Chains A and B, each alone.
Chain A
């Protein structure tokens, strides 16, 4: 199934690996920080509601 990349196999594959890794890292870091901030806000809001 792998296409015949010939002498450029390293070139093409390294471009794909680098780009997909960077995009994946960006998405994962964004989602991780988003969830952390959301949980922190919920906790602070609950604390504020308890303390009136």
Chain B
């Protein structure tokens, strides 16, 4: 099968019936593997890793803070991708997938902000600082809320999908800033990337990074969070597809009455 044939096969999932049938089959796998990875990763990290020599037991917050922050940003990029598909190809499932992902993204952003504040208090001596990364994350959180509110505020679903897609494009600037703020402005309290860095992979890394004793359970937690995100988005997209069908059926009933 050539690449273009495979890419064309992907568009079959734009058919709501095909999407629902496929997700019904794969969802049990995603729920179960997410639960297993989260249980293993969090138990390993919480109970079986040592304290950090500088941060003490607070290092255990890393198993929640880093995966949540990672998904807060990447959920927005997923929404950007599906919004672009909606704007270009007008596939309803992609617009509904973006809508379904937003509440998941907002919870991930809230967890990242809350755990960051809780962690920051003993380490930095403050719950909050107008640091580039913290501030861009707060703006991303507000963009999520605005995105959800816009979907709720507009009655026509196609118009809502159009306007929220444009909002998603604008908000992507802050999603990028949230990821790279510490690189753009080399200031503030938040440390630079210490888990996933290009230099760590290419071998040119001389900076301090997370020790393997913390990294392996963290990796399991990240996989668990990603699987949970996929499970939630697939399930919630199915719900949005059904809600759209209900609106169509009720409209048909009203016309027939």
Nearest-CB residue, chain A, relative to B245: A41
Q: Would you give the shortest CB distance from B100 to chain A, in whole angstroms?
A: 9
- Does residue B228 face the partner (Cβ distance < 8 Å to A)? yes
Q: Would you give the shortest CB distance from B127 to chain A, in whole angstroms?
A: 11
When chains A and B are docked, how far (Å) is the Cα of A12 from the Cα of B103?
A: 25
Q: A1 contacts which of B47, B64, B236 (Cβ < 8 Å)?
A: B47
Interface string of A1-19 (1 = CB under 8 A from B): 1011111110110111011
| Contacting residues, chain B, for A47 (C-beta < 8 A) | 253
Q: Would you give the shortest CB distance from A26 to chain B, in whole angstroms?
A: 5
| Contacting residues, chain A, for B252 (C-beta < 8 A) | 48
Most chain B CB within 10 A, of A16, A31, A48, A51, is at: A16
Known interface pairs A15-B64, A19-B64, A37-B246; A3-B114 also in contact (CB < 8 Å): no
Residue contact B236 to A30, C-beta cutoff 8 Å: yes
Q: On chain A, which size bracket covers the interface?
A: 20 to 34
DSSP majority for the B interface?
helix
Q: Would you give the shortest CB distance from A44 to chain B, in whole angstroms?
A: 5
Q: Would you give the shortest CB distance from A6 to chain B, in whole angstroms?
A: 6
Interface string of B96-115 (1 = CB under 8 A from A): 00000001100100110011
Within 8 A of A (CB), among B67-114: 68, 103-104, 107, 110-111, 114
Q: B57 contacts which of A9, A18, A44 (Cβ < 8 Å)?
A: A9
Within 8 A of A (CB), among B38-52: 42, 46-47, 51
| Contacting residues, chain A, for B114 (C-beta < 8 A) | 15, 18-19, 22
- Does residue B242 face the partner (Cβ distance < 8 Å to A)? yes
Known interface pairs A12-B61, A34-B239; A40-B110 also in contact (CB < 8 Å): no
Interface string of A27-52 (1 = CB under 8 A from B): 10011011001101100110110010
When chains A and B are docked, how far (Å) is the Cα of A23 from the Cα of B242?
A: 24
| Contacting residues, chain A, for B107 (C-beta < 8 A) | 22-23, 25-26
Which positions in A face B, CB cutoff 8 Å?
1, 3-9, 11-12, 14-16, 18-19, 22-23, 25-27, 30-31, 33-34, 37-38, 40-41, 44-45, 47-48, 51
22 A-B contacts (beta carbon < 8 Å): A5-B57, A5-B60, A11-B57, A12-B60, A12-B61, A16-B46, A19-B114, A22-B107, A22-B110, A23-B107, A23-B228, A26-B104, A30-B235, A34-B238, A38-B239, A41-B245, A41-B246, A44-B246, A44-B249, A44-B253, A48-B253, A51-B256
